[in-house]
Structure 1
């Protein structure tokens, strides 16, 4: 009977370094092949036994996952940031492949990155396009304001971007070269805004095909765009067992630190009553999701409805407004997950204050 093989792959633009370990942890094969689908599949088909493969999340991860998943027992796409914390000694393509195979064999050392839900591939790509173009628009707007501030010209608000006020703003710039630079920024901003509107329309058109977007839009302050982005970024709510896993993924989980958690009292081991120290929110997270829930909480804290009542109740209990908004963002994320899992509508009874 063929044994289990643990395959580590270090993927690059031109080559893939492969290391294979058996159940005893011994290297039984290592090779370097070209980064082509046929070459990779030929190499995999030449291996006997039950194959477990791992490689790091990156540019090639989605393509490689779809390529290998039908042909092996298990594919683990791992988080390279977690692996960096485990790296010691020399680094190289073969060394990295050996290390990945060893970590996969040991089990529990790799943090998997979710890949699945192939029916959402179009929505995911359109969401990425919309997010990238939105970031580009923000960068150009920031550069435009930085240009004016660099010449000592105050430019608060949005008027500096308006087409009917541009001549007045350009006339404030003393140098011809600086004015031309500002004009180039305005031209780039106009082109990106038009492109962003097209990307927005494409995203909403594709999102209408997904029933989950209709459920998520029932959550207050989760509109059409954000519901489409939530479905594209999360794909399925069942990848999160509880709301706490979602909080960690969105960057809303609170990090704590404690030491000397236990002590002996009268010969009996008891847990210390000392409270753990708060160390802020977790930094390893999906920034787009955190932005969605953070802005939803900001809008809810300034608006009306059950979410505003929840926020006011938090403040009345003595919480600072910033902490109350954080609690509200966590609550919106939890309600969103519940609505999506239950495939039902929003119920204000979900907004219960914690004891």
Structure 2
């Protein structure tokens, strides 16, 4: 949240049947709340009638991206907030009007944690990636069921009802393989279309699918102030808990599991190859680092390089710095 003072502070609790709208102004602490049937056009008219600067907030839900897109031009700023951080909403009685009232108080006090939303095309890639991951999970489940059935039959000829079930599983797995192949072709097409995806592919251990996952999840690398914030978002660092100058261990932050999986699998693919990530890993191991810690540090190195490539808009060039140094030396 920024320190800008707005004329109107608006919070919306949106549901399929009704919408509760709470409003405060910069001049008054009085909260005005209305609860009316959900209607996006009526909501737009309500916002148009408010004169002066407006900031609007709503909680992250399945409809938040749609509301963000529909209302973005009607207000000066939209804050899609993290519901896990809004503990005030859990206190006392609860209904839509009360939730909206509490939410607008948090908005005016600057106590909301904003969740990134945009109309960027890269955000639409998340649906594609989500569909692919759901498909893979379903395919793994089918293959596990087939494996269990064959093992239960002693890996011998399957007959009777078991043969019928096996035939159904084989047909479903065949369809899964076709759909998976179609997704992979689409990922390859996107890699050719978007330079940002091609640049991610230039990193060690990052292929077509993982490159699309990084771009789809990050969308804009400039929303991260530095590599520390990015590694925290990717779940590659822990936050230390300190009170009274005493440490109470470390806590894993809420993070993007998709990104963590990308960098962990990327490092696993890079280790053993001829690339800077493997060189860094072997350097750490040779220096006495346990293999687990060395892999984890290599993940952070890969994530840092990934963020840098995204921000620079160029492909990864591992020896660019050393060549520049050689040129300076020659001069």
Q: Which TM-score band applies after superposition, normalised by the shorter structure?
A: 0.7 to 0.9
Partner of 2:178: 194
Aligned residues: 318
The answer as to 2:296 corresponding to 1:326 is: yes
Q: TM-score, normalised by structure 2?
A: 0.85
| 1:326 to partner: Cα distance | 0.9
Q: Distance in 2 between matches of 1:247 and 1:350?
A: 24
Contact 1:54 1:75 in 2 (8 A): yes
Equivalent of 1:205 in 183, 189, 192: 189
- Structure 2: unaligned runs, 5 residues or longer: 323-331
| 1:50 to partner: Cα distance | 1.9
User: Equivalences for 1:244-263 in 2 at 5 Å?
Assistant: 244-261=228-245
Partner of 2:216: 232
| 1:260 to partner: Cα distance | 2.6
Q: Distance in 2 between matches of 1:123 and 1:226?
A: 12
| 1:3 to partner: Cα distance | 6.3
The answer as to 2:290 corresponding to 1:288 is: no
Q: Distance in 1 between matches of 2:239 and 2:153?
A: 42
> Residues 214-271 of structure 1: CA distance to partner in whole angstroms, max 9, x if unpaired?
222211111122112211111121111111111111111212222332xxxxxxxxxx
For the structure 1 residues 220 and 90, does the alpha-carbon distance in structure 2 shift closer, same or farther, using more than 3 Å as the test?
same
Q: Distance in 2 between matches of 1:255 and 1:147?
A: 45
| 1:122 to partner: Cα distance | 4.4
For the structure 1 residues 169 and 125, does the alpha-carbon distance in structure 2 shift closer, same or farther, using more than 3 Å as the test?
farther
Q: Distance in 2 between matches of 1:251 and 1:152?
A: 42
Q: Which deviates further from its counterpart, 203-212 or 237-246?
A: 203-212
The answer as to 2:291 corresponding to 1:303 is: no
| 1:303 to partner: Cα distance | 3.2
Contact 1:335 1:350 in 2 (8 A): no
Contact 1:77 1:113 in 2 (8 A): yes
Contact 1:79 1:111 in 2 (8 A): yes
Q: TM-score, normalised by structure 1?
A: 0.80
Equivalent of 1:118 in 111, 120, 127: 120
- Structure 1: unaligned runs, 5 residues or longer: 154-167, 262-273
| 1:87 to partner: Cα distance | 3.0
Equivalent of 1:20 in 5, 10, 23: 23
For the structure 1 residues 28 and 223, does the alpha-carbon distance in structure 2 shift closer, same or farther, using more than 3 Å as the test?
same
Contact 1:307 1:351 in 2 (8 A): no
> Residues 280-321 of structure 1: CA distance to partner in whole angstroms, max 9, x if unpaired?
633x11111111011011122343322111111112222221
Partner of 1:314: 284
Please state whether the residue corresponding to 2:193 is helix, strand or coil: coil
Contact 1:212 1:231 in 2 (8 A): yes
Q: Distance in 1 between matches of 2:49 and 2:258?
A: 41
For the structure 1 residues 110 and 144, does the alpha-carbon distance in structure 2 shift closer, same or farther, using more than 3 Å as the test?
farther
